Structure 1
Amino acid sequence: MEIPDMSSKKLPCRPEMFDFEGISMTHFFTENWEKVRNFQSRPDDILIATYPKAGTTWVSYILDLLYFGNEDPECQTSKPIYMRIPFLESCFQEFSTVAGTEMADSLTTTPRLIKTHLPVQLVPKSFWDQNSRIVYVARNAKDNAVSYFHFDRMNMVQPEPGDWNHFLEKFMKGKNVFGPWYDHVSGWWEKKQTYSNLLYLFYEDLVEDTGREVERLCSFLGLSISIEEREKITKGVQFDTMKQNKMINHVTIPFMDFKISPFMRKAQSFRVGGVSTRNMAESMNAASVVDGKFVLKYFSCCINLHWLRSCYAAS
């Protein structure tokens, strides 16, 4: 499949959100819903699932290198990652006639790597029926909210985010595209307890020791790589390296305004974040004190020690 020429396309009007199957969505992720719902998975498919801005591209690239880095190295520098790893529910008709389901069906690689931001209850039934492998990545709410805010600012197919305080209010009410953060991470965590082919990773663990998490992925997927290969992949997926890779950093996507913000900002957790990140997180702390319901939900989702630490971090 050739890279679509989207340079002549005009930026769309930002979409409105609406309730879809109990969560907030936009038409970009529902217009092709029948084909999404009826998508036919295969037993050797690997689904990469996350809440938006929780490490999707990072883990996608790790998996891409694990399976195809040696087999098809030219692809790493000639084909954008969104074509190598289709976004299942996406349907950006203003820019391309190819929906995510069509891109996935056209993949000739084995296994097929496919990404989704769907909450667990909306994942096509065939993934469970085929016992497909799934890698889920969760990120603590504070970092996730800050990253999602900057993403919405620069992504013209996302709803207008407003200022940080407005966005934060929506985030805490669960009124973002793909629904509440806490329902998403906890829903997938619960599924992990009954579905053995699901690996649940944490963004903070990837930041802390990427090589260790690459080993976890290999163990889950039944892959055996040498120490040299692991070190090569770990080096290749370091944030500064990916940020300079035009096939990874999404600069080929015309509806993202990189003058506002880069797609890839900082691969940091709250514990080591910059001043602006800390300030935003502190404002989230203050707002959480007012919203007792969010506090309870956030604590109920603190299924990782890093997250519990971030609850109490003041700076």
Structure 2
Amino acid sequence: MATPPCSPHFCLASMASAREGPIPFADTHGDTNLVSSPEQREEEHADLIAALPSASAADSPVKLLRYQGFWLPDFYVAAAINLQQRFEPRRDDVIVASFPKCGTTWLNALTFATMARAAYPPAGADHPLLRLNPHQCLPFLEGLFQGGREAELEALPSPRLMNTHMPLPMVPRAVPACRLVYICRDPKDMVVSLWHFLGRLRPELPFNSVFECTCDGTMSYGPVWDHVLGYWRAAIARPDKVLFLRYEELLRDPAGQVRTLAGFLGTPFSAAEEASGTVDSIVKLCSFGHLKGLEANKIGHLNPLLPIPRDALFRNGASGDWVNHMTPEMASHLDEIVAEKMRGTGFTFSEL
């Protein structure tokens, strides 16, 4: 029987990626993985979705629906249900997870560069991160499962590298089936980053509106404390399957954190790689300043249906910027709310 033809991208992926790491998703499926078009949205869960509590929030231009204790954008509720019912993880899958505006873009880049370093040396002139935004390299799970595009995920060769903002209960089959890498961030800095990000779409949005929806938990994927706790508890229970990172620690010691990441992924850096500077090359390639200066991150939008410029992902990248936007009273108020929500869990943001 003749071998069926395939595209050059997919043939290359089939030959190399199963041995050497993930391939850029945009090279096989185009730049359409964040949000599906309205006509692709599934209606099979319409009755369940219609019965869910709803709210409007400053951080979302769409209605939020409360599903299993979390506020999700209305068009991602079907994705959550489908993920719970249909997502079939593979043993060598890796999922990068985060609450929005907590270091997602940086961690996507670092994880891709670390996993794919055999196929794409980080110092190479043709590295995918030099021509693609980090979000174009990883399929976004809710974007695919919202529009019934799971087949695109199934078609990817192993090992697959994926991204999600979903709370852990929405991907219940992931642990202990595969590996998850989660990143958290001081909620005060998260609020500031989110406000600036949304301001590119809604310049009139008051900072106080985003602050208040964070405090009461009514925000996309919120409450943030429940989101963080789900992954943190999983990391405590299964440290071999869930790596819990802190944005501030990544800022302080990116090379050390990349070594931790590689070890967790089962691909620690060899003595030869250490000697040749591979770790430093990954850190440099994925650094905020380097990524911000690339043309791929200066032009275009995140998605045709989410017209926020890609450069909105690279505003500041620092820690502690909240002092320039919050009064001491606001900061104390948010800290007190988070501390109360975390009481008795063993987790605290004060370690940051």
Range of TM-score over shorter length: 0.7 to 0.9
Partner of 1:127: 174
Go from structure 1 to structure 2 and tell me whether the alpha carbon gap of 1:309 and 1:216 turns closer, same or farther (over 3 Å shift).
Answer: closer
Report the Cα distance in structure 1 between the residues aligned to 2:265 and 2:113, rounded to whole angstroms. Answer: 13
- Which deviates the most, 218-227 or 111-120? 218-227
Q: 1:31 to 1:103 in 2, by over 3 A?
A: same
RMSD between aligned residues = 3.4
The answer on whether the counterparts of 2:83 and 2:170 sit within 8 Å (CA) in structure 1 is no
Amino acid at match of 1:3: G
Q: Partner of 2:162: helix, strand, or coil?
A: strand
- Specify the alignment match of 1:238 in structure 2: 287
Gaps of 5+ in 1: 311-315
Match 2:315 to one of 230, 249, 265: 265
Q: 1:126 to 1:295 in 2, by over 3 A?
A: closer
Q: Secondary structure at the match of 1:49?
A: strand
Contact preservation (8 Å) 1:243, 1:249 = yes
3-state DSSP of counterpart to 1:30: helix
- Structure 1 length normalisation: TM-score? 0.78
Paired with 1:183 and 1:74, the residues of 2 have a C-alpha distance of 37
Deviation at 1:118, TM superposition (A): 1.3
SS at match of 2:262: helix
Identify the residue that residue 236 of structure 2 maps to in structure 1.
Answer: 193
CA offsets, 1:28-80, max 9 Å, x none?
32233443221111000001111111111111111111122441445334444
For 2:194 and 2:293, the matched residues in 1 are separated by: 21
Quickly say closer, same or farther: Cα 1:45–1:233, change in 2 above 3 A: same
Residue 235 of structure 1 and its aligned partner are, at CA, apart by 1.0
**Alpha-carbon offset, residue 161 of structure 1:** 8.8
- What is the alpha-carbon distance in structure 2 between the residues aligned to residue 224 and residue 290 of structure 1? 39
**Contact in 2 for aligned 1:211/1:234 (Cα 8 Å):** yes
- The residue number in structure 2 matching 1:313 is none
1:60 paired with 2:102, answer no
Counterpart residue type for residue 173 of structure 1: D
Equivalent residues in 2 for 1:31-110, closer than 5 Å: 31-37=78-84, 38-72=86-120, 73-90=126-143, 99=149, 101-108=150-157, 110=158
Among 188, 194, 214, the alignment partner of 1:171 is: 214
Q: Could you list the per-position Cα deviations for residues 168-208 of structure 1 after superposition, in whole angstroms to 9, with x for gaps in the alignment? A: 11100011100111111122111212123111110000111
Q: 1:264 to 1:290 in 2, by over 3 A?
A: closer
In 2, Cα distance between the equivalents of 1:217 and 1:169? 34
Post-superposition Cα deviations, 1:76-110, rounded to whole Å, max 9, x if no partner, equal 344443342111112598xxx684x44432323x3
* SS of match in other structure, 2:232: helix
Relative to structure 1, the CA distance from residue 247 to residue 28 in structure 2 (aligned partners, 3 Å threshold; closer, same or farther) is: farther
1:76 and 1:215 map into 2 onto residues whose CA distance is 19
- Contact residue 71 and residue 221 of structure 2 kept, 8 A: yes
Is contact 1:61-1:237 (8 Å) kept?
yes
Q: For the pair shown, which has the larger CA radius of gyration, 1 or 2?
A: 2
Return 5+ residue gaps in structure 2 as ranges: 1-27, 38-59, 121-125
Distance 1:232 1:114 in 2: 23
How far apart, in 2, do the equivalents of 1:235 and 1:145 lie?
27
Q: Describe the shift of the 1:291–1:216 C-alpha distance in structure 2 as closer, same or farther (beyond 3 A).
A: closer
